[in-house]
Structures are given as C-alpha cells and as structure tokens.
C-alpha cells in the first residue's frame, strides 16, 4: 500500500490579525517578522489518517508532498516526525501566487513524476484561503475517484470504506483504489511527534523539484482566479449601556430601545 499526503505550510491561524501584512497592490498577505508558520491543521488530520492505515497495514509506505515558494524545514518535516517516510517538495518563486487551479496542476505533475499511489489524502481545506478546491482538482486531473470530508477510513485489500461527515449526520461510502480522500477534523486529534520521530525526521532529506523538473513552463501557469480586493475588515464596536432602577426596568428600557430602532 502506497499513500501520499498533500500538505501546506500556512500562517498560524491563532495569531492576531494585526500580525499579518496586507499587500493590496499584489493581492496577497504575509506574516510580519517573527510570526510563525505551521502545518495546516486539516492536513495534520490527513497525516494522522495515513499513519493509522499504516498501523493497520504495516507494509504501507507514506510519502508527503508540498509546493511553495519556500519552506520552513521544522514545519514541513512535521509529518516525518509523526511517522511518514518520504518528503517531496516543489519549490519555485512562481508558486507564491498560485491559485487553486495552478496548485492542482503542479501537484498533479509532481504526483505523476513521483509515481502511482493507492491512496492520496488531503486536508478538507487550508486555513489561509479556505477554498477547498485543490483536492478535487487533483482527483479530476488524475482521473481517480474522490471522497470528501472523511471522519473515518477503513482499508481492506483494495476496498476503502469511508465514513463521511454530512449535515445532521454521516454516510458510509465505499471505493476501490486508487482514490483521493479529503480528511476532516472530525477524524480525531493528530498525534504529537515523539523524540524518536523528531530525531528520525532530521535525518531524512527531502526530494526537491523545480517547475522545470516537472516539465512545466511559466506560460503553463496562469491563474484562472482574479482577486479584486483583499483587506482586513473594520470592526465597529459601538456599545450602548441600558440603565434602569432595577433588572425589570433595565429589561423594559432595552425592549423599548430595540423597538425604537426597528430591531424587534
């Protein structure tokens, strides 16, 4: 069994908004100096899913793939410290502004370069743009089945059973390999790397591709999406305190105020 997990390095979603610089001329945002990047949380769920399959089928080999302008090795090697074996990176300055269509195309080319996989796992979406388009694009280009929003995966020989998250409940879907599956946070908390895993990850050197290695030319990589604006929303927090002689009077005055403003 060969599994590939696609991951992305993102700005830590827990940092405050004022820790991010907005470049409205080039339609992009970037962390200020000293702000950390992390592995996309949903991608960590996908890594956890891959490792659980390996625990079920010990001969499974897990590879990790990511693309970008640059990488923090401490971040991008986290899947290796969790238990994955191989790391492939596509590194090029042009990928700094790649939209979901270009990202799908580059990942597809990298996958064809690396080799065939039985299962490709992705996070349900990335925490920076929240597009959730790339995994479906990869599946379309590879012409393989895709199953989204997995909260449970069971593998028996070449048959995959996926427990999917749907509004108000769940559904069970069966597929054969090869298949692409997106993993949701309902899958469960990803494991924390132990010291042995961190030491082992430090010894693994990633295989790095450029776009030319994948036979991709600059003219092949033109964004289909057009960003018309990007900004930090302004917060208007005008607060009015309603007073009264007692709680009953305060409640009555609140109701009158809301009525006068046509809010009730």
The answer to whether residue 227 sits within a structural domain is: no
Band the pLDDT of 176: cuts 50, 70, 90: very high
Asked if 63 contacts 83 with a C-beta cutoff of 8 angstroms, the reply is no
pLDDT digits (tens, 9 = 90+) for 17-38: 778 877 766 667 777 777 889 9
Counting the structural domains of the chain, the total is: 2
**3-state SS class at 155:** strand
**Residue 230: inside a domain, yes or no?**
no
For residues 116 and 178, membership in a common domain is answered with: yes
142 and 245 within one domain: no
What pLDDT, on the 0 to 100 scale, is given for residue 33? Answer: 76
The model's pTM: 0.85
Q: What is the CA radius of gyration of the chain?
A: 23
Q: What is the predicted pLDDT for the residue at 39?
A: 97
The span from the CA of 130 to the CA of 127, in Å, is: 6
CB 204 within 8 A of CB 187: no
Q: Is 114 in contact with 64 (CB distance < 8 Å)?
A: no
Question: What residue numbers bound the domain in which 259 lies?
Answer: 236-264
> What does the pLDDT read at residue 26?
64
Reduced to 3 states, what is the DSSP secondary structure of residue 162? strand
Indicate whether 249 belongs to any domain. Answer: yes
What is residue 227's predicted lDDT score, i.e. its pLDDT? 79
Q: Are 52 and 154 in contact (CB under 8 A)?
A: no
> Which of the pair, 128 or 81, is modelled with greater confidence?
81
**pLDDT tens-digit profile of 85-142?**
999 999 999 898 889 999 999 999 999 999 999 999 999 999 988 899 999 999 999 9
Q: Are strands 145-156 and 37-39 parallel, antiparallel or unpaired?
A: unpaired
Asked if residue 76 lies in contact with residue 7, where contact means CB atoms within 8 angstroms, the answer is: yes
Q: Please indicate, yes or no, whether residues 114 and 148 belong to a single structural domain of this protein.
A: yes
């Amino acid at each position: 069994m060969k599994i590939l997990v696609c991951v992305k390095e993102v700005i830590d979603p827990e940092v405050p908004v004022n820790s991010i610089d907005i470049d409205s001329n080039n339609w992009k945002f970037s962390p200020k100096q000293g702000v950390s990047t992390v592995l996309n949380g949903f991608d960590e769920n996908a890594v956890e899913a891959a490792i659980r399959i390996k625990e079920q089928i010990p001969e499974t080999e897990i590879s990790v793939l990511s693309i970008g302008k640059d990488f923090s090795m401490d971040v991008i090697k986290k899947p290796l410290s969790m238990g994955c074996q191989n790391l492939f990176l596509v590194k090029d300055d042009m990928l700094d502004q790649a939209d979901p269509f270009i990202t799908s195309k580059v990942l597809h080319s990298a996958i064809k370069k690396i080799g065939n996989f039985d299962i490709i796992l992705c996070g349900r979406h990335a925490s920076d743009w929240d597009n959730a388009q790339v995994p479906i694009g990869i599946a379309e280009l590879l012409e393989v089945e895709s199953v989204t929003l997995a909260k449970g995966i069971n593998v028996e020989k070449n048959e995959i059973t996926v427990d999917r998250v749907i509004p108000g409940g769940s559904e069970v879907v069966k597929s054969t390999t090869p298949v692409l599956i997106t993993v949701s946070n309902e899958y469960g908390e990803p494991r924390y790397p132990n010291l042995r895993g961190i030491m082992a990850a430090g010894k693994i050197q990633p295989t790095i591709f450029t776009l030319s290695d994948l036979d991709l030319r600059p003219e092949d990589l033109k964004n289909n999406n057009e960003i018309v604006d990007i900004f930090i929303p302004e917060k208007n927090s005008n607060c009015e305190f309603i007073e009264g002689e007692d709680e009953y009077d305060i409640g009555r005055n609140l109701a009158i105020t809301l009525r006068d403003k046509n809010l009730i």
